[in-house]
Amino acid sequence: MRQVLISFTLLAIFVSCNRGEQDELPSTNSKDNTQIKKTPTPLFVGDSAYRYVLDQLQFGPRVPNSAAHDSCAEYLAKKLGSFGAEVIVQKGEVTAYTNAVLNIQNIIGQFYKERTKRIMLCAHWDTRHIADRDKENPTGPIDGANDGASGVGVLLEIARHLESNDPGLGVDIVFFDAEDYGSPQLSMGMTALSDMDNSWCLGSQFWAKNPPITGYKPQFGILLDMVGGEFATFPKEGYSLKYANPLVQAIWNKAHQLGFGNYFINRAIGGITDDHKYINEIAGIPTVDIIHYNPNKSDFGIFHHTHQDNISIINKNTMVAVGSTCMEIIYQGL
């Protein structure tokens, strides 16, 4: 992922304005006809999440229109089904910046489908088709251990608990496709930055414009992207602050209460073009992006979009910090 697009000055302006627009935080604990007794938060197991990352990497790079991509899609759908989810595979065609037609699959697992009170957790599952930041082999596809597989691994570990530990609300897990098939960074110049942005996140754009579930409106969404790297930091991202500021504050507060403040840092950054941008702007679902970014170096990490993004950089403790925070929100509310 992508480009940090919004200046810090503008960010400060729209964050302060947004606080007046969203003064109520959706509660996952308010009672309705589906509410049941609160369940203790299950233990998020880092070894299990790590195993799910390995499983994805065994297919090879999960680039759309490849055999590895199709095989991994089948694995993800079956895995969600084995955990008790009702699975929807939304297939479609999108056009990449290269004019190639990509066959995509957005994979959706619904837990407790009958409940009206719902939250959404999501990540992208595809990998980048080129390693455009790699000095030795910039044209080859990447493993995407962190950029893709880590978010999916965390969500699969969460999904593993949902059937046997009823959270008292509906939970939807969505794996978006073709997030990472965007135009090479800065190749089109800053004057065409808007068009460049829209070449990313093709699966979530398709999902938002063609809703696979009629009238789908969860209370909120949480997007995970690059959540497995050692020494990762998750600042408060700009589009999240713009569209879901109270949720950002609540999630970061929850992480700090759980002892994960070294990961969830109290720093605001500019907006990052990621799946949540289109979920917010097209689908109208307030969604927060938990994404690794180092504001001191203005970078996603030296492994980002290179062949260094392999299993060697995945850290179980980082996934535990993110997964445990999400689990606590699911089971105990914001």
Could you read off the pLDDT of 34-88 as tens digits, one per residue?
555 689 999 999 999 999 999 999 999 999 999 999 999 999 999 999 999 999 9
272: left (phi over 0), alpha (psi -120 to 50) or beta: beta
Does 178 fall in a domain? yes
Does 194 fall in a domain? yes
DSSP per position, 141-180: PP--IIIIIIHHHHHHHHHHHHTTS--SSEEEEEEE-STT
For the chain, give percent helix, strand, coil, nearest 5: 35, 15, 45
Q: Which residue's structure tokens are 């507060």?
A: 253
Question: Which pair of structure tokens corresponds to residue 122?
Answer: 């999501």
C-alpha closest to that of 292 among 243, 234, 236: 234
What pairing do the DSSP bridges indicate for beta strands 101-111 and 118-124? unpaired
Question: Which pair of structure tokens corresponds to residue 11?
Answer: 């960010």
Backbone angles phi, psi at 173, to 5 degrees: -110, 125
Q: How confident is the model at residue 29 (pLDDT cuts 50, 70, 90)?
A: low
For residue 36, the model assigns a pLDDT of: 52
Query: Which residues, including other chains, have CB under 8 Å from residue 293's CB and lie 6 or more apart?
Result: 4, 233, 234, 235, 237, 269, 272, 299, 300
Does 186 fall in a domain? yes
Does 1 fall in a domain? no
The model's pLDDT over 255-287, given as tens digits with 9 standing for 90+, comes to: 999 999 999 999 999 999 999 999 999 999 999
- How many domains, in total, are found in the chain? 1
**CATH number where 325 lies:** 3.40.630.10
Length of the chain: 334
Does 193 fall in a domain? yes
| Cβ 130 vs Cβ 191: under 8 Å | no
Which range of residues forms the domain containing residue 155? 8-332
Whole-model pTM? Answer: 0.91
The model's pLDDT over 79-112, given as tens digits with 9 standing for 90+, comes to: 999 999 999 999 999 999 999 999 999 999 999 9
